[in-house]
Structures are given as structure tokens and as C-alpha cells.
């Protein structure tokens, strides 16, 4: 009987709460009496918690699989008709399960961190464990007392309500967990930062140790955000991928500060700079991750994403957020000065100052997004009026900042640590800058007429050329000194500098992504027309001819299917079949956009309402280069994976001695 199974899940989760409390108490005792046995107990408790919470999650998933509608959460978020894949992913289909997944990630990362850093960081470990156990408790109390996914109902429902139809898509099924993984991933660097604060440890130890955690969290958060955009583009049928919705912004904010952090820890690693700042950044990143959860789950902001708004839960998450912020920022204010080392930025033209500018821009961007997201709330609280801050504000303010960041992406990695001279800069950058100006000018003849777009094109060209030329220079020097072929030189350079070359790959991926954003953002064509048979419409290089519309049937839906022929300027022809589907079981109507996806752009056709017999309102988009966004994403993934192959150097205990940078261009990515 599976009714008792879900009770096992509830029991396991309750036990996990008790164990986490035990772990906290044991850590405190071990610190008080320097009794390592207690620390061992705490360690076992935290590892066991992972097992218990895995069991907890499993019982929910299993209830979905066996269609046990005596479990309220299962009854509310699935249906006997729902395919197995979506019954498996329904765990995070709503509030309660999402938080359970959050907690599970936290428990998993805690267990891994405790296992792999146990030997190497004996002095930080108690505080790391204390922090992570406290976070677990915060989430478990919430789950068990306010948002319990294990609740049973008697008598059981005959059949469940359905999973939110929006979530019944493979693209979206994996968007939330990827995002959560990114959010939670920052908890480990956060815990190490708290440990460094408490210990007043000023070295580079904690940033070096958590570098791979940071990379992991960053790349999963990036992927989570992009997965959301990908799904929006292919499934929602409005032709775009980013709408500056409050909930999208909530995921972008920790990404912005996390990206700043990812860069600035290099300065601490190499030059022992920015210690307090780095702690501030990781606290902020983690707090913003929690804020993201708060905004989505409390219903404070009005958004298309707020499925389950519940002020009672919101109040708890807010209190939790306040506790985390007060304790961690409080520690920073109280003990932050102990982290400051003697090193100073010695020259305004240097890697470290480039990183400083990078950080200023990313943090400014985060502040802008935060302001724009909270402004409607502030106005409503103060005046009672409802306003919304829309895309134009964000686009206008963010674009110049992003251009600055792109420029730094080209300059920063190529400027040496400590000091460079303006003359050196001129030698290094004159040629790529000249070529970039040329590219920008050419682009104006090819139809670019927006200043931001022209600047973006020029800057992308500049960064690309400067980076390639730098790599070529390094390869040439290497060939000279070792007498190897250029390919083996490149391989040897890259495999000895995973961080730098991994970073280059990531930057190249970002460039590709930016090309996609600029192309689809500035050069997109959009028309809405009422099409009768034989009517023609122009979109980009394509001429579309509307042929007919008629009924059709699928396995579990009926649809109105239109036939649209296209002809490219170069003579190629083909057919697109956009449709409007009705799923009778749930009564949901979906629009299935027909997309002709090519390397140069997407032809995107969406059906609207049929007006009179045979004619239909149709929206036609030409989205140039939009696929480059997803290609860029893949390149970024590749680069991060490459950079992660570099292991953290072994630093035992607190003996971390700040190693001053010797090589000028050793580390690019963290």
C-alpha cells in the first residue's frame, strides 16, 4: 500500500530535520570543547541527511509514478492520462515539490562538500557545516510545517487534476531543476565565505577551494536561464525569448552578481585583492538566489510565473531571507575588516583594475534590474497604484552597460596583472580596434542603423579579433621556444592553462550568443496579416504564400492546420504547417508555431484566430541569427567544462600563503 510509502517519505524528512539540528549542536559543542568526535557525528548526520532526503523525494516521485491520488500533491499536479516523463518531472510542478527539490540539491551539495573538503579544510569545516546545516533547517521547517508535499487526503481522489499544461513540455520540464541547481550551487562558496569571515581568514584559500563550485553553479544557472528562454521561444509562440518578466529578472540578478564574483575571485587568487568585496558578492549572490525563490513563491510580484501565491508562506520565506541577510551581512560588517590585506591596485591599467570595472558594471546591472523589478512593488505600497516596468526601460539602460562589459571582455584578459602601459596597449589593440571600426562601418552599409547595434557589432568584432590575435601570439612564441608545430603548441598551451583557455572559450561562446541577441533583437521583422488563400507576405529573405487551412487530427488532440509555402530569394522552396491544437481532455488550446530554422535565422509563423471561412490572422516573424544564442550556449558549456578540468591546488588548513602572481597572463577564468 503506497499510502504508507508517502508516510515513510514524511518520516525521513522529519528525521532529516532532527539530524540537521543535531549536526548544528554537535558542531557547536566541538568548537566549544575542541572535541573532534562531535564534528564527526555532525559530518555523518549531514551525509545521512542526503540519503534521507533522497528517500523523501523518491516517495513523492513514486507516488506520481503509481498514480496514488491519496497524496494531495500528486492529485493536484498529475492525471492518469499524463505521460510517464511528466509524472516524473511533476515533482517540481508546483510549490511544495519545487522546494523539496531545492532542499534535496542543498543536501546533496552539502554531503559532497563535506566529503571532499573534509581533509583539506579542517579549520573551516565546522563553520561550513554550521552554515549548510542552518540553511537545511530553514528549508526543512518550511517544508514540514508550511508547504508539506506529503499531505494525504482521505478518501483518495478518483483522478488527479492535471499538471500545469505549460509545464508539459520537455524544454520546460528541465528548466526549473537546472535553475535551482544553479541557485543552490552558490550555497557552498557562500558557506566557505562565512567560514572565512568567522575565522578572519584573509588568504585566498576559500576562493581557490570553491572555484569549481562557483563555475558549476554559474554554468547551471546560465543554462537554467537559457533553457527558459529556449522554451519560451519554441513553445509560447510569441516569437521572443526574454520578456523582462519579474521572475525572469529574479533569476538574472544572482546571475549578474555571480558572474561578477566569478571574475573578481581571480584578483583574490592572484593578487590577494578584493577580499571583503568577494565575500560581499557571494553573500549577495546567494541572498538574491533566495530572493528569487521568495519573489516566485510568495506572490509579492504580479507575474505570469506566480502559479501559487500564498502570503503565509511568503512571510516565512521573508523571515528566512532576513535571517540569512542579517547574519551574513552582519558578519561582513562586523568582521569584514579582518579580511583586508595590504595589497592595493597599483596601476590603473592592469588586469586587476579591468576586473574592478567589470565588477562595477555587473553590479550596476544587477542594481538596475533589482530597481526595475521592485519599482512597481514600491509604487504600489506607497501610492496603491499599479504600474509595470516594461522591456523598454531595461533594454535602454542595460544595453550600454552590456557594451561596456563586452569591451572589457576583450581588454581584461589580455592586460597583464599589476601594470601595463598605454604604449603596450596601443601595440596590442591598435590592429583589432582598427579592423573592428571597419566592421562597424561595413555593418551600417548592410542595414544597421541603430547606434547600439553598430557599437555592439564593432565591439564583438574587436573582442573576437583581439582574443584570436593574442592566442596566435602566444602560439607563435611557444613554437619558437619549443620548436613544435602550431597545433601541438596550441594544445600544450591550452592544456597547461585550462583556466585561461577555458575562459577564452566561454568568452567566444558569449560573443556568439551576443551576435544572436543583436541579430534577433535589432534586425527582426514582424508582421501580422490576415491571410486569404493565395495571399502573399514577405519576411526577411522569404516570400510566404498562404495555401489553405483545414481540420486535422493528432493522437490526443484535434487541430486547425494551415499550409504555408515559402520561397527563398535564392529559389529554394518548402512548406510550413503552423497549427492551433485543442486537447479535449484538459480543454487546452495551444498554438504550434511553425519554424523554419536555419543558421542565418528563423522564419517563425504563428496562427491567430480564423476570421471568415478560409482566412486567418497570421503573425510572421523573421528572427535573424537567433540560433546563434543556443550555439553560443553550447560553446559556453564547453568552455566551462574545460576550465573545470583544472583541479584546485591543495591547500591544507589555514596555511594558505597568498601566492603573488608571477606570470602576467596565467589565469583568465577563475
The footprint of another protein (CB under 8 A) covers: 72, 75-76, 157-161, 200, 202, 294, 298-302, 306, 309, 311, 314-315, 318, 321-322, 325-326, 329, 332-333, 337-338, 340-342, 374, 377-378, 380-381, 386, 584, 586-587
648 phi and psi, to 5 degrees?
Answer: -70, 135
10 Å CB burial of residue 112 (0-12, 13-18, 19+) is middle
User: Please, how many CA atoms are within 13 Å of residue 137, restricted to the half-sphere of its CB?
Assistant: 17
Cβ neighbours, 10 Å, residue 202:
18
285: left (phi over 0), alpha (psi -120 to 50) or beta: alpha
Distance CA 287, CA 281 (A): 10
Contact 264, 277 (CB under 8 A): yes
User: Whose Cβ is closer to another protein: residue 318's or residue 535's?
Assistant: 318
User: Whose Cβ is closer to another protein: residue 342's or residue 447's?
Assistant: 342
User: Whose Cβ is closer to another protein: residue 379's or residue 535's?
Assistant: 379
Shortest distance in whole angstroms from residue 66 CB to another protein: 19
Shortest distance in whole angstroms from residue 337 CB to another protein: 5
Distance CA 317, CA 656 (A): 37
User: Whose Cβ is closer to another protein: residue 490's or residue 656's?
Assistant: 656
Distance CA 338, CA 392 (A): 43
Q: Residue 12 CA to chain centroid, in angstroms?
A: 31
User: Whose Cβ is closer to another protein: residue 161's or residue 473's?
Assistant: 161
User: Whose Cβ is closer to another protein: residue 342's or residue 555's?
Assistant: 342
Distance CA 208, CA 56 (A): 34
Shortest distance in whole angstroms from residue 19 CB to another protein: 31
Shortest distance in whole angstroms from residue 294 CB to another protein: 7
User: Whose Cβ is closer to another protein: residue 212's or residue 313's?
Assistant: 313
Longest dimension (CA), the chain: 86
Contact 573, 562 (CB under 8 A): no
User: Whose Cβ is closer to another protein: residue 44's or residue 67's?
Assistant: 67
Shortest distance in whole angstroms from residue 321 CB to another protein: 8
Shortest distance in whole angstroms from residue 377 CB to another protein: 5
Distance CA 478, CA 484 (A): 8
Cell of 79: 492525471
Distance CA 635, CA 507 (A): 9
Cell 544597421 found at: 448
Cβ neighbours, 10 Å, residue 660:
11
Shortest distance in whole angstroms from residue 110 CB to another protein: 26
Instruction: Give the DSSP H or E segment for 434.
Output: helix 422-445
Cell 620548436 found at: 483
User: Whose Cβ is closer to another protein: residue 449's or residue 609's?
Assistant: 609
User: Whose Cβ is closer to another protein: residue 568's or residue 659's?
Assistant: 659
Distance CA 36, CA 57 (A): 32
Shortest distance in whole angstroms from residue 341 CB to another protein: 6
Shortest distance in whole angstroms from residue 381 CB to another protein: 4
Shortest distance in whole angstroms from residue 557 CB to another protein: 13
Distance CA 247, CA 175 (A): 13
Shortest distance in whole angstroms from residue 313 CB to another protein: 10
Shortest distance in whole angstroms from residue 621 CB to another protein: 25
Instruction: Give the DSSP H or E segment for 398.
Output: helix 391-411
Question: Any idea what DSSP says for residue 338?
Answer: G
User: Whose Cβ is closer to another protein: residue 54's or residue 164's?
Assistant: 164
Contact 364, 401 (CB under 8 A): yes
Distance CA 171, CA 190 (A): 30
Contact 569, 539 (CB under 8 A): no
62-99 b/e (C-beta count within 10 Å ≥ 16 → b): bbbbebbbbbbbbbbbbbeebeeebbebbbbbbbbbbb
User: Whose Cβ is closer to another protein: residue 119's or residue 161's?
Assistant: 161
Shortest distance in whole angstroms from residue 251 CB to another protein: 18
User: Whose Cβ is closer to another protein: residue 164's or residue 598's?
Assistant: 164
Beta strands per DSSP E along 390-535: 525-531
Amino acid at each position: 500500500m503506497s499510502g504508507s510509502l508517502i508516510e515513510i517519505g514524511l518520516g525521513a524528512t522529519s528525521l532529516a530535520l532532527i539530524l540537521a539540528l543535531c549536526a548544528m549542536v554537535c558542531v557547536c559543542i566541538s568548537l566549544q570543547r575542541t572535541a573532534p568526535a562531535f564534528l564527526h557525528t555532525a559530518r555523518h548526520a549531514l551525509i545521512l541527511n542526503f540519503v534521507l532526503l533522497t528517500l523523501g523525494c523518491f516517495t513523492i516521485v513514486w507516488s506520481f509514478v503509481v498514480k496514488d491520488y491519496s497524496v494531495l500533491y500528486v492529485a493536484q499536479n498529475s492525471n492518469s492520462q499524463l505521460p510517464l516523463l511528466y509524472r516524473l518531472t511533476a515533482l517540481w510542478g508546483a510549490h511544495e515539490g519545487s522546494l523539496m527539490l531545492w532542499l534535496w540539491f542543498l543536501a546533496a551539495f552539502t554531503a559532497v562538500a563535506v566529503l571532499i573538503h573534509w581533509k583539506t579544510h579542517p579549520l573551516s569545516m565546522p563553520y561550513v557545516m554550521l552554515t549548510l546545516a542552518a540553511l537545511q533547517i530553514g528549508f526543512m521547517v518550511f517544508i514540514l510545517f508550511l508547504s508539506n508535499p506529503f499531505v494525504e487526503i482521505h478518501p483518495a481522489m478518483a483522478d488527479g487534476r492535471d499538471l500545469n499544461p505549460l509545464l508539459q513540455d520537455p524544454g520546460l520540464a528541465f528548466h526549473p531543476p537546472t535553475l535551482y541547481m544553479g541557485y543552490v550551487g552558490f550555497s557552498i562558496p557562500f558557506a566557505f565565505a562565512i567560514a572565512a569571515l568567522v575565522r578572519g581568514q584573509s588568504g585566498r584559500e576559500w576562493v581557490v577551494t570553491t572555484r569549481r563550485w562557483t563555475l558549476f553553479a554559474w554554468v547551471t544557472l546560465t543554462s537554467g536561464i537559457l533553457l527558459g528562454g529556449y522554451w519560451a521561444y519554441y513553445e509560447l509562440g510569441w516569437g521572443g525569448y526574454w520578456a523582462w518578466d519579474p521572475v525572469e529578472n529574479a533569476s538574472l540578478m544572482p546571475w549578474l552578481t555571480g558572474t561578477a564574483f566569478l571574475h573578481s575571485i581571480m584578483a583574490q587568487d592572484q593578487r590577494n585583492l578584493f577580499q571583503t568585496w568577494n565575500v560581499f558578492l557571494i553573500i549577495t549572490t546567494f541572498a538574491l538566489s533566495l530572493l528569487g525563490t521568495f519573489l516566485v513563491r510568495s506572490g509579492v510580484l504580479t507575474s505570469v510565473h506566480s502559479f501559487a501565491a500564498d502570503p503565509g508562506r511568503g512571510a516565512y520565506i521573508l523571515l528566512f531571507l532576513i535571517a540569512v541577510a542579517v547574519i551574513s551581512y552582519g558578519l561582513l560588517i562586523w568582521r569584514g575588516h579582518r579580511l583586508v590585506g595590504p595589497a592595493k591596485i597599483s596601476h590603473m591599467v592592469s588586469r586587476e583594475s579591468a576586473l574592478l570595472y567589470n565588477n562595477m558594471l555587473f553590479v550596476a546591472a544587477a542594481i538596475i534590474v533589482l530597481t526595475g523589478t521592485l519599482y512597481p512593488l514600491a509604487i504600489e505600497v506607497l501610492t496603491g497604484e499599479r504600474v509595470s516596468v516594461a522591456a523598454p526601460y531595461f533594454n535602454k539602460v542595460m544595453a550600454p552597460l552590456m557594451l561596456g562589459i563586452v569591451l572589457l571582455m576583450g581588454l581584461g584578459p589580455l592586460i597583464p596583472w599589476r601594470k601595463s602601459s598605454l604604449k603596450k596597449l596601443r601595440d596590442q589593440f591598435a590592429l583589432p580596434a582598427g579592423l573592428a571600426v571597419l566592421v562597424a562601418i561595413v555593418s551600417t552599409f548592410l542595414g544597421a542603423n541603430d547606434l547600439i547595434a553598430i557599437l555592439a557589432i564593432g565591439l564583438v568584432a574587436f573582442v573576437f579579433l583581439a582574443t584570436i590575435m593574442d592566442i596566435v601570439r602566444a602560439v607563435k612564441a611557444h613554437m619558437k621556444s619549443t620548436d613544435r608545430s602550431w597545433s601541438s603548441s596550441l594544445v600544450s598551451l591550452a592544456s597547461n592553462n585550462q583556466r585561461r583557455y577555458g575562459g577564452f572559450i566561454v568568452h567566444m561562446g558569449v560573443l556568439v550568443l551576443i551576435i544572436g541577441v543583436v541579430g534577433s533583437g535589432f534586425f527582426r521583422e514582424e508582421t501580422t496579416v490576415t491571410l486569404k488563400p493565395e495571399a502573399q507576405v514577405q519576411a526577411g529573405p522569404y516570400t510566404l504564400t498562404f495555401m489553405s487551412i483545414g481540420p486535422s487530427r493528432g493522437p490526443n488532440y484535434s487541430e486547425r492546420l494551415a499550409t504555408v509555402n515559402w520561397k527563398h530569394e535564392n529559389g529554394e522552396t518548402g512548406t510550413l504547417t503552423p497549427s492551433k491544437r485543442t486537447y479535449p481532455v484538459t480543454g487546452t488550446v495551444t498554438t504550434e508555431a511553425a519554424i523554419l530554422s536555419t543558421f542565418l535565422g528563423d522564419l517563425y509563423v504563428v496562427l491567430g484566430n480564423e476570421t471568415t471561412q478560409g482566412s486567418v490572422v497570421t503573425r510572421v516573424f523573421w528572427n535573424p541569427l537567433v540560433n546563434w544564442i543556443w550555439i553560443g550556449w553550447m560553446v559556453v558549456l564547453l568552455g566551462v567544462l574545460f576550465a573545470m578540468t583544472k583541479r584546485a591546488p591543495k591547500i591544507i588548513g589555514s596555511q594558505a600563503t597568498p601566492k603573488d602572481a608571477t606570470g602576467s597572463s596565467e589565469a583568465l577564468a577563475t
